[in-house]
């Protein structure tokens, strides 16, 4: 299935200016679509295909990191052993 990106001409004028929440919604849409993508692509790649030229959305997806854990290596495990 080929995803057809939206052209600016097909978007109504009141929707042409994107709000910050729009970029977060687009990042979420790319993530959801990537979960069900049979080609096993990353959310970054899917969002880049769905919304070409949308840098804020791709930056949101690149900024995502895994949560800190107290059992693995990294900064959280160092702090978990100290008493407060």
Task: Note if the pTM is more than 0.75.
Answer: no
Is residue 3 in some structural domain?
no
Mean pLDDT of 79-83: 58
Mean pLDDT of 46-51: 91
φ and ψ at residue 82, rounded to 5 degrees: -85, 145
pLDDT at position 32 is: 93
Is residue 76 in some structural domain?
no
* 30 in Cβ contact with 43 (< 8 Å): yes
- Alpha-carbon radius of gyration of the chain: 18
Read off the tokens for 68: 């800190």
- From CA 41, how far away is CA 57, in angstroms rounded? 16
Among 5-9, 27-31, 40-44, the least confident range: 5-9
**Statement: residue 49 has pLDDT above 70:** yes
Is residue 39 in some structural domain?
yes
DSSP annotation of 82: S
Mean pLDDT of 19-31: 91
**Statement: residue 39 has pLDDT above 70:** yes
Q: Which domain holds residue 41?
A: 19-64
């Amino acid at each position: 299935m080929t995803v057809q990106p939206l052209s600016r001409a097909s978007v109504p004028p009141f929707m042409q200016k994107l709000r910050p929440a729009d970029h977060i919604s687009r990042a979420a849409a790319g993530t959801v679509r990537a979960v069900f993508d049979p080609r096993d692509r990353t959310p970054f790649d899917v969002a880049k295909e769905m919304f070409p030229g949308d840098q804020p959305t791709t930056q949101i997806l690149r900024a995502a990191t895994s949560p800190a854990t107290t059992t693995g290596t990294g900064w959280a495990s160092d702090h978990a052993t100290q008493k407060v």
